[in-house]
Structure 1
């Protein structure tokens, strides 16, 4: 993995994508969870956005470790790194729940079209998975905020006290 792209640390570039895609996926998850028409139209797109945020998370973590190795020891950077390493444990369940929601939704639609199985039971399963997906998405978004806030502190702590040029 390259450490730098056009002279900028890869970590700085990738984290911005994670900061966009994880909360955007969470917002999309809330929409498709509570609005079946949206689920039919954009559900798989939302799953793709969540998958992209999930896929970028380990890249952000690994590139952060490479950057951390170039910097002097700093407890703020260490705190940020520890939180960043935990993020995968939030985004992976979010992805599984969104995929589960879309699979259950597809099965529900198939059952309704074929008038086979138990459509009421399928609807209850979809609702249950939707609630779970929204909760996991909220947790992932909160943790992205926590990681980002810790990273911001590591970079910018004390800058306000620097003299202006």
Structure 2
């Protein structure tokens, strides 16, 4: 079943949430990792952004699969979209890992202290996963945009 909002496929709409929230959360995670004393004030915000970004990645993936199935049922060949799907799955996996690491980092900052070794390790792990999720979001977005524009104007 094709998921739509006002006649537009949901996938390209919700993807914009992913490409805004994951990089924004990543910048916050890098800041918290570099300045642990900011963890108390900004750690929860980073965590919320990462979790919402991961949820948006899940919705984007589900909506993308529905869009793909709809296009295939209409007889569209969808040549060149294979990389986009695989990259999108990586965004989801890395986004969820980033969100989980951000939660752990925030919990450790509150329990063990923002300057504690466990928090610092978790904060840098979250930041690294955020960078990876952001990089894959860029690659998936570039792949999807190139595929769609190539498809429309081939």
Pairwise CA RMSD of aligned residues? 2.1
Normalising by structure 1, we get a TM-score of 0.82
For the pair 1:81 / 2:70, whether they are aligned, the reply is: no
**Unmatched segments (≥5 aa) in structure 1:** 113-121
Q: CA deviation at 1:158?
A: 7.2
For the pair 1:33 / 2:33, whether they are aligned, the reply is: yes
Alpha-carbon separation, structure 1, partners of 2:122 and 2:59 = 28
1:129-159 C-alpha deviation (Å, 9 max, x unpaired) = 1221111111111111111011011111277
Alpha-carbon separation, structure 1, partners of 2:48 and 2:2 = 25
Q: CA deviation at 1:61?
A: 0.6
Contact 2:36 2:120 in 1 (8 A): no
1:30-61 C-alpha deviation (Å, 9 max, x unpaired) = 11111233211121011000000011111101
For the pair 1:124 / 2:128, whether they are aligned, the reply is: no
- Within 5 Å, give how 1:2-151 maps onto structure 2: 3-71=3-71, 72-109=76-113, 123-151=116-144
1:73-123 C-alpha deviation (Å, 9 max, x unpaired) = 2232222112212322111111111111111110123xx9xxxxxxxxx71
3-state SS of 2:77 partner:
coil
Which moves more between the two structures, 32-41 or 17-26?
32-41
Normalising by structure 2, we get a TM-score of 0.88
Structure 1 outlier segments of 4+, above 3 Å: none
Contact 2:2 2:66 in 1 (8 A): no
**Unmatched segments (≥5 aa) in structure 2:** none
Contact 2:2 2:67 in 1 (8 A): no
Contact 2:2 2:70 in 1 (8 A): no
